[in-house]
Amino acid sequence: MTTSTRVSSSPGAPAQAGDPRLDRLYALLPAIIRIRDADRGYPLKALLQVIAEQVNVVEDDIAQLYENWFIETADDWVVPYIGDLVGYRPVAEAGPPATPGCATRRVLVPRREIAHLIASRRRKGTLALLEQLASEVGGWPARAVEFFKLLGWAQNIDHLHLDRHRTADLHRVEALELVDGPFDSLAHSVDVRRINSHRTPGRYNVPSVGVFVWRLKSYSVTGTPAHCAEDIGPHAFTFSVLGQDTPLHVRPQRETDPTHIAEELNLPVAIRRHAFERRPRDYYGVDRSFAIFAEGWAGFPADQPVPVEALIAADLSSWRYVPPAGHIAVDPELGRMTFPRSQLPKHGLRVSYHYGFSADMGGGEYPRPRLEPSGTVQHYRVGKGGFRRINDALRQWEHDRPTSAVIELAASGVYVEPLNIHLRAGQSLQLRAADRTRPVIRIIDWQTDLPDALAITMAPDSRMTLDGLLITGRPVQVTGTRKQGHDPGPVCPAELVIRHCTLVPGWDIDCNCEPGRPAEPSLEISNLRARVRIEHSIVGSIQIHEDEVRIDPIPLAISDSIIDATDGARQAIGAPSSGVAHATLTIQRTTVFGIVDVHAIALAENCIFNHCVNVARRQLGCMRFCHVPTGCRTPRRHRCQPDGVIAAVKQRIADPVKQAAEIADEVLRVRPQFTSVRYGKPGYAQLGRGCAPEIVRGADDESEMGAFHDLFQPQREANLRARLDEYTPAGMDVDIAFES
């Protein structure tokens, strides 16, 4: 159940202590010299290790020179040079040239596009090539549609088009459901407007070609318990363990034919009821989009999913449909299912499914880079051959008292148990999810006379990491221990890290994704002298309670995350009783819903603050390339919005009355717009298609502001538009349509 490992450097990595390559020069010396060196305390060995380290660096660089000959293995900085050899030209609209090591280089010069450049030129003018370009250049799955094939056709006896000879048949419900989408099959009258017009675009014309792309990805959840909607009845369940309606998404199947035009099964689309009813085997199964495991229900085996013959596609928006005995009603559009009232599951109900979201954030079954502690690490495994419960592993950890330890949750299950973690001075503990899993820690009301939470007590010089977890039901409370009257000064040797986690805003959500306890914080920090770091996470409101008189503010660093107070009138970052959080905030590439009240902001960069920001000390730090509402108390701002549009109006209009009206319009125009502002929706915190370009391309590298900055979607869109124009035949008009 427990293992002890020692971290060592991998081949090709910079040489470190313990690397056998450091001693290879020393091993070439005669034995007598090594013996004499040992008598003197190995000074010669230490010298040769320094020399060997530089020899390894040179050899690794020479080996990489050979790898740089090939597009598949070349370094990022070499890719543009290989592209230049085959005539590749970067797109100016995608942004300025990226410096070596910059994250935008891979987006501005796509490696896959250069690898297939010659083959793409040979296929120029084919419809399937446009889909391939969307994948290689934009990184988006796509479906290309020639709209002239959907035009109503006056029939000619020598050239019949029987699928385009009549008006819409109102009896074909599924065809009507797909109207004006990428899978439309009905005949349309001619629209003479151009599809790529900047004013009033049209679609259905002879030269029009549309490329429908999907920005949302399809993420898997495997073998997790379903949620019983007890307020509806014991027969009603949702696929999501949180209980909200979540559309089930397709697990895209790979296309093997390069001439094939993508269908619904090849794209990360939401599953439709009619599609599931007509072709259930395409969507249901262990290796398909979703599966249901009801142990012992209706005599079905526990290790196999319920047979597809027992499923009925139904509209469960009102929960009124009652399936017959031996059947389960499934609504893939809402992620709901119902059982016969006389035949309920008795031994547990588990599901596997796919949901839609924008990026690798908040934990999930996506690959996450691990932060392995250095030195000797004690490992404890929960589930699949390890401990049964988290508390069992914690008791063993407290008994062993290792300096550094990792407790790993091995399955995408739900852990319902009270957790209290006490770290001693100098201890390090990681509570993390195993790779490709999404465990859920559900904290319920265990104690009648006391509040419940995931409680963590940290001593000086300790380190606590939460990695890959979804925590719901109650907050995470982190407290420190220090002697009465002791002032540790400005140094914070301890560290709290929250990465790739979700601390559900409002503790839990209902079927409409409304928060259950909107006024309650998800993270409470009290009397903690530690550095706090939040990365790639979704966190509810944060409350920090510190001694503001005797000690300095704690450092709080947030990056690539979403902080959600569930309402603009509530604090996203603050202190109890609406006070000011005694913290110095460094925040980058983050979207914040709610008020921010902190002691100071050292740096705010490429962020979206949807509501007011107030700092106690304006002299410290700066804000750059952010959206900050007017009237906020902030440190100095650089290239922020709406400051930029206000300055432009003042420079353009002199009349005070007209100037005030224009400023009000511009401030409203550049206000960020989102597909959804509720956690649990597929388009949560995603910038809407009507969002102002000052926000969409307002970051310092001309990417979008906010949590999804590193997707570099503006650059990908600019690249794709240029390539579509390049590979479309003369006389044809092509445009991109975003389906999600």
The CA distance from 202 to 314, in Å, is: 35
Where in the sequence is the domain holding 341, given as residue range(s)? 217-357
- Alpha-carbon distance of 537 to 590, in angstroms, equals 10
Percent of the chain surpassing pLDDT 70: 93
Whether 724 is in a domain gets the answer no
Which pLDDT belongs to residue 106? Answer: 65
And the tokens for 486? Answer: 């002791």
Q: State the Cα–Cα distance between residues 643 and 637, nearest whole angstrom.
A: 9
Is 154 within a domain? Answer: no
Task: Indicate if the alpha-carbon torsion angle 361, 365, 366, 372 is positive or negative.
Answer: positive
Beta strand 336-338 pairing with 236-238:
antiparallel
Residue 615 located in a structural domain: no
452/594 same-domain check: yes
pLDDT tens-digit map of 31-79: 888 888 888 888 888 888 888 888 888 888 888 888 889 888 888 888 8
Q: Residue 347: what residue type?
A: H
Reply yes or no on whether the pLDDT at 17 is more than 70. Answer: no
| Residue where a domain terminates, one of 592, 607, 622 | 607
Q: Are 353 and 408 found together in one domain?
A: no
Indicate if 405 and 344 belong to the same structural domain: no
Of the candidates 357, 385, 401, which is a domain's last residue?
A: 357
Which residues make beta-bridge pairs with 108? Answer: none
Segment 184-210 mean pLDDT = 87
Say how many domains are in the chain: 3
Within 8 A by CB and 6+ apart from 41, the residues are none
Looking at the structure, tell me whether residues 476 and 447 fall in a common domain: yes
pLDDT in tens, 357-383: 999 999 999 998 888 887 788 999 998
Residue 699 has pLDDT above 90, yes or no: yes
DSSP 511: T
In a domain, 705, yes or no: no
Q: Where are the beta strands (DSSP E) in 385-486?
A: 404-409, 414-415, 420-422, 428-433, 440-442, 454-458, 463-467, 470-472, 476-480
Closest-CA residue to 503 (of 479, 524, 482): 524
Asked whether residue 156 is domain-assigned, the answer is no
- The answer to whether residues 499 and 574 belong to one domain is yes
Cα atoms found within 13 Å of the Cα of residue 253, Cβ hemisphere only: 13
493 and 380 part of one domain: yes
* Residue 539 falls inside a structural domain: yes
C-alpha span between 369 and 357 (Å, rounded): 19
Residue 654, token pair as written in the block: 């002199």
- Does the structure show a pLDDT above 80 at 485? no
Residue at a domain's end among 329, 357, 385: 357
What are 682's two structure tokens? 């597929």
Structure pTM? 0.89
Indicate the SS3 state at residue 396.
Answer: helix
CB-based contacts of 142, cutoff 8 Å, min separation 6: 130, 131, 134, 135, 211, 212, 213, 214, 262, 267
* 411 plus 560 within the same structural domain: yes
Residue 80 lies in a domain: no
Please say whether the beta carbons of 141 and 720 come within 8 A: no
Rounded to a whole number of angstroms, the distance between the first and last alpha carbons of the chain is 44
The yes-or-no verdict on residue 81 having pLDDT over 90 is no
**Residue 674 in contact with residue 682, Cβ under 8 Å?**
no
Residue 19 — very low, low, confident or very high, per pLDDT cuts 50/70/90? Answer: low
Query: Is-cis flag, bond preceding 515, omega within 30?
Result: no
CA 435 to chain CA centroid, nearest Å? 15
Same domain, residue pair 528 and 441: yes
pLDDT in tens, 249-280: 999 998 888 888 999 999 999 999 999 999 99
Closest to 404 measured CA to CA, from 453, 454, 363, 461:
461
Q: Which H helix or E strand runs over 294? A: strand 291-294
Q: Quick one: pLDDT band at residue 185, thresholds 50, 70, 90?
A: confident
Q: pLDDT tens, 307-337?
A: 999 999 999 999 999 899 989 999 999 999 9
Structural Rg of the chain based on CA atoms: 29
Which CATH number covers residue 575? 2.160.20
Out of 172-176, 251-255, 675-679, which region has the weakest mean confidence (pLDDT)? Answer: 172-176
Q: Which two tokens stand for residue 161?
A: 């088009």
Do 27 and 62 fall into the same domain?
Answer: yes
Please tell me the distance from the alpha carbon of residue 334 to that of residue 272, in angstroms, as a whole number: 10
The token pair that represents 428 in the structure block: 């390090």
Give bridge partners of residue 554 from the DSSP assignment. 583
Alpha helices in 141-189 (DSSP H): 173-177
Q: Name the residue among 609, 608, 633, 635 with its Cα closest to residue 621.
A: 635
In this structure, are 382 and 342 located in the same domain? no
Burial class of residue 572 in the structure, from the number of CB atoms within 10 Å of its CB (0-12 exposed, 13-18 middle, 19+ buried): buried
pLDDT in tens, 395-453: 999 999 999 999 999 988 899 999 999 999 989 999 999 999 999 999 988 777 667 78
In the block, tokens 């995408």 appear at: 412
416 close to 225: Cβ distance less than 8 angstroms: no
DSSP per residue, 331-395: ETTTTEEE--TTS--SS-EEEEEEEEESSS-SS-SS-----PPSSEEEEEEESSSSBSSHHHHHH
559 phi/psi in degrees, rounded to 5:
-145, 145
Q: Do 310 and 396 fall into the same domain?
A: no
CA pair distance 62, 499, nearest whole angstrom: 36
Angle at 226 between CA 298 and CA 237, to 5 degrees: 75
Q: Are residues 402 and 539 in the same domain?
A: yes
Closest CA to 626 of 535, 709, 739: 709
In a domain, 500, yes or no: yes
